[in-house]
Structure 1
Amino acid sequence: MQTPCVLLSADRSGAGKTTIATGLMAALTEMGMEVQGFKAGLDYIDPTYHEYVTGRPSRNLDGYVMTQKDIKTIYANATKNADIAVIEGVRGLYEGLDIDSDTGSTYQIAKTLNTPIIMIIDARSITKTAAAILKGIQDFKKPDIQAAILNKVGSQKHQEKLEKAIHRHTDIQVIGAIPRTSEMEIPYRHLGLIPASEMNHQQIKKKTQGLRETIKQTIDLQKLTEIARPPKKTPPTKTTPRKPDVTIGVALDKAFTFYYQDNLELLKQHGAEIKTFKPTQDTLPKVDGLYIGGGYPEIHAKQLQDNQKLRQQIKEESQKGMPIYGECGGLLYLLDQIKYQDKTYSMTGALNGTAIVGENRVVGYTELQATKNNPILKKGQKIKAHEFHHSHITNLQNPQYTIKLHRGTGIKNQKDGLTKNNTIGTYQHIHQQPYPQTTKNLLNKCREYKNQK
């Protein structure tokens, strides 16, 4: 039997999904359960909290970039040896690609996996309206809402009024009521919550312990585990990994933390040995290619600039033709400079341009096509991705773009994939599970480079 699951959703962002999901996973783990976390949508940050409290990498499930089969396969593979899975939703239950379809919504994930839903209601300053919100969501498309958790409750009297209203006007049971407390808050900045990986050990330990204890005291965990049920059955995939024959360096430190676990596993599956390195302090390991993911290079720009030796090594390897793939924050690091808060910092210069950070918020799903061969795509290949950043690029010198966007913003005029030598930088965040050819393309380029050295 597949691992039983619950999905936590809400009527909007900011209702408390991440804090409650994290505290819930921590409480279930403390009970001795193997808990597998998931995040609906393509967010990188929330899963870092899931992983910290469960000890298992959290996975993303997204109905825009993934097929139903992809979603079911990722779930089946990730939940091997797990006792329960918890899926944290994104935004409101029905928000997705557009108002005319369910694509990209939490509701789509719930339908695909046939998962029971627990609604989180931000109860601040409302009573009977909480019942109206739940009834409206329930009547809209008849989702399988099994319970509600009330968040930011003001008092015992407030809780009693809320529960009475919900009981009278809906058939949804209330399995928890969480008071307004600083224990249920996580620090926030421009791209979302501060990643768990950026907090020191004492900070993250104290914060997650507070979440866990609050959840234990306020939510009926026995009822929650009874609500959980297995999704539609899909057996885990059986794959035989290719014997490692190429080495790829993955930038991984406080400046670069945005990686999908499935992407890293695909690299290994298709023959890569991964060597991680810290761009804020390390020199370049002996590798045949580089993968520099997203993150916050602007926050750590001074340390990145101070590591002059690594910056020079990356530029030299780029000039020699080493395959280098930079994604969003990785793109910024590959440029000449980053300007942030009125200061300018030198980066690698593997690609020409200056990133101005703090302006032009861009977020949304994208659809792209390669206009020329590049390290990750062959000419004509189409994929779906997403972009999320607060920057734009100036001082572009004879830019060579190899990607055209049919949906989205890109670097400039719906052009992306800034390419030079065998280096590509892009604002596009690509979940490669639906598009394994991107992984294969990159590793084949690495093999070519290795053989010509």
Structure 2
Amino acid sequence: MSTLRYCPALFLSATSSGQGKTTLAAALARYHNRAGRRVRVFKIGPDFLDPMILARASGAEVEPLDLWMVGEPACRRLLYEAAAEADLILVEGAMGLFDGTPSGADLAERFGLPAAVLIDARGMGQTFGALALGLAQYRPGLRLAGVIANRVGSERHAEMIGEGIPSEVPFLGALPRLDEAALPSRHLGLVQAAEIADLEQRLDAAAERLAGTALAELPPRVAFREPGLASAPTIKPVPRLDGLQIAVARDAAFSFLYAANLRLLRSLGAKLSLFSPLRDSLVEADAIYLPGGYPELHLETLAANRAMLASLGTHVDAGKPLYAECGGMLYLLETLTDKDGRSGQLAGLLPGHGRLQPRLAGLGMQSMATSAGELRGHSFHHSTMETPLTPSTYGIRQRDGGRGEPVYRHGSLTASYLHLYFPSAPEAAAALFIAEQRR
């Protein structure tokens, strides 16, 4: 018989993107962390930037939860393990409460998480209540903790909103505009946590605004069930990765990386080392992992580091595997042009040219089918690329099964716009870093 673990938990969602979910989730995490509580935060769906902020706010690593990419069994295991060590579990949603298939509401209902829904109240009075009632009644099986009015302009504005909320809808309070706690953003989302010099002050300011509100109270306890044997991780030792040295790019230009990916590679026997394409002049390893990030923001520095570019060329010329995702792939092209029209000559290991676009060029959950299994992940980029290469395969769109991002294999190099979640198919992930003659 499976056992239960109990922990206060709250799912934070909104009516759409851009409502202030991450600011509120970070404020709650920092508020309870300052009160001496151990806080674990999770983020719905594929995301690299929000978790950086949430990790700073909570003092603990933030992992993704997603019924499709991560899978229900693994999500259940992550929540069960967190309940053993935390005094509070917070889960931040993505987009709107019911958006996507599966949606945040699907996950909250599956695991019995009470949902608090943030509504931007600017320009709204009693109509706020009608919207709140619709959210409460749209899915009867969803456990609604209540609604929160955000960016309220004054005490009178808050009173107007409160007057229009039906008695059957729990009202968790009104929050003013938190200009001093606002989190800056750019074309791919929030600015990286390490780049916000006064992030700690912003987090503290946001936390202080919660004092005395209903949100400052611990939410109800949730029962998290022990995963059964069927949901145990499928990771098995893979002898051919034992002792394999994998160098992973990690700096301000290349930081879009799931911690679970690195844990998986280590569990399969690989030895990992970190290097910086911005600062280092040499990289030596059996395989290289270039994750996504913001190479376009560091174009001049990356282009000027010819020693690192030559080192990557030496690695590929020796037939050693190099796996690159999104920004990592752009770094391997001949040239990359930023949004202001400035270009830089880069590695030239992948023939072609990349260019930043003013609008989103790719978005969505996708998988990559391989002979060793189906790796799941997502695409999200503002750039396009031109290359004479013929793709070796294509990603598969989750929403309709159609053709997704092209995947290129050029010598020992594998590159795509896809950001892959390695635990979704461990054997397939391992194969990305194994030289052809060793497979």
Q: What TM-score, normalized by structure 2, do the two folds share?
A: 0.90
2:419 to 413, 429, 438: 429
CA drift of 1:11 comes to 0.9
1:95, distance to aligned residue in structure 2 (A):
0.4
Determine helix, strand or coil for the equivalent of 1:387: strand
Q: Does 1:205 align with 2:200?
A: yes
Given the alignment of the two structures, is residue 230 of structure 1 paired with residue 228 of structure 2, yes or no?
no
Residues 7-156 of structure 1 mapped to structure 2, 5 A cutoff: 7-96=11-100, 103-142=101-140, 143-156=142-155
Q: Tell me by how many angstroms 1:415 deviates.
A: 5.5
Select which of 173, 178, 197 maps to 1:176.
173
Query: Is the contact between residue 247 and residue 287 of structure 2 (CA under 8 Å) also seen in structure 1?
Result: yes
What is the root-mean-square deviation in Å for CA atoms of aligned residues? 2.5
Question: 1:100 matched to which residue of 2?
Answer: none
1:216 correspondence with 2:211: yes
2:295–2:331 CA contact under 8 A, matched in 1: yes
Preserved CA contact (<8 Å) 1:368 1:403: no
C-alpha distance in 1, partners of 2:371/2:295?
Answer: 29
* Partner-residue secondary structure (3-state), 2:13: strand
Q: Does 1:296 align with 2:289?
A: no
1:405 aligns with 2:395: yes
| Deviation at residue 447 of structure 1 after TM alignment | 9.7
Q: Do the aligned partners of 1:37 and 1:86 also contact (CA within 8 Å) in 2?
A: yes
Deviation track 1:203-235 (CA, whole Å, cap 9, x = no partner) reads 22222222222233545412xx14342334437
Q: Which residue of structure 2 lines up, in the alignment, with residue 439 of structure 1?
A: 429
Partner of 1:162: 161
Distance 2:362 2:384 in 1: 13
**Matches of 1:113 and 1:349, distance apart in 2:** 48
| Aligned amino acid, residue 60 of structure 1 | P
TM-score by length of 1: 0.87
Aligned length: 425
Specify whether residues 12 and 212 from structure 1 end up closer, same or farther in structure 2 by C-alpha distance, changes over 3 A only: same
How far apart are residue 444 of structure 1 and its match?
3.8
Instruction: Give me the whole-angstrom Cα distance separating, in 1, the residues matched to 2:398 and 2:227.
Output: 33
For 1:126, give the aligned amino acid: M
Q: 2: distance between equivalents of 1:384 and 1:273? A: 24
Query: In structure 2, what is the equivalent of residue 361 of structure 1?
Result: 360
Q: Does 1:347 align with 2:342?
A: no
Distance 1:391 1:367, change over 3 A: same
State the shift of 1:363 in Å: 3.6
Which blocks of at least 5 consecutive residues in structure 2 are unaligned? Answer: none
The one-character-per-residue Cα deviations of 1:399-453 (angstroms, maximum 9, x if unpaired) are: 14222234389xxx8561111111111001111222222322134449949xxxx
Which whole-Å CA distance do the structure 1 matches of 2:26 and 2:138 have between them? 28
Q: Are the equivalent residues in 2 in contact too, given 1:336–1:351 (CA < 8 A)?
A: yes
2:406 pairs, out of 416, 425, 446, with 416
Deviation of 1:73 after TM superposition, in Å, equals 2.1
Equivalence for 1:392: 384
Q: Percent sequence identity over matched residues?
A: 28
Deviations for 1:35-82, whole angstroms, at most 9, x for unmatched residues?
111111111111001111222110111123233212212333455422
Pairing of 1:367-386 with structure 2 (within 5 A): 367-370=366-369, 377-378=370-371, 381-386=373-378
State the alpha-carbon separation in 1 of the partners of residues 238 and 411 from structure 2: 28
| Separation in 2, partners of 1:408, 1:391 | 21
Asked whether the equivalents of residues 38 and 87 of structure 1 are also in contact (C-alpha less than 8 Å), the reply is: yes
- Alpha carbons of structure 1 residues 404 and 253: separation in structure 2 relative to 1, 3 Å: same
Unmatched segments (≥5 aa) in structure 1 = 97-102, 371-376
Which range moved further: 240-249 or 65-74?
240-249
Quote the Cα distance in structure 2 between the aligned partners of 1:447 and 1:199. 45
**Contact (CA 8 Å) 1:118, 1:148: kept in 2 or not?**
yes
TM superposition shift of 1:270? 1.0
Q: What amino acid sits opposite 1:270 in the alignment?
A: L
Deviates more, 1:17-26 or 1:49-58: 49-58
Are the counterparts in 2 of residues 3 and 83 from structure 1 also a CA contact under 8 Å? yes
Q: Residue 310 of structure 1 aligns to a residue in which SS? A: helix
For 1:224-303, list aligned pairs within 5 A: 225-234=218-227, 245-303=243-301
The whole-number CA distance in structure 1 between the counterparts of 2:253 and 2:214 is 36
Structure 1 residues 80 and 298 mapped into 2: Cα distance closer, same or farther (>3 Å)? farther
CA distance in 2, matches of 1:79, 1:363: 36
Question: Which amino acid counterpart does residue 422 of structure 2 have in structure 1?
Answer: Q
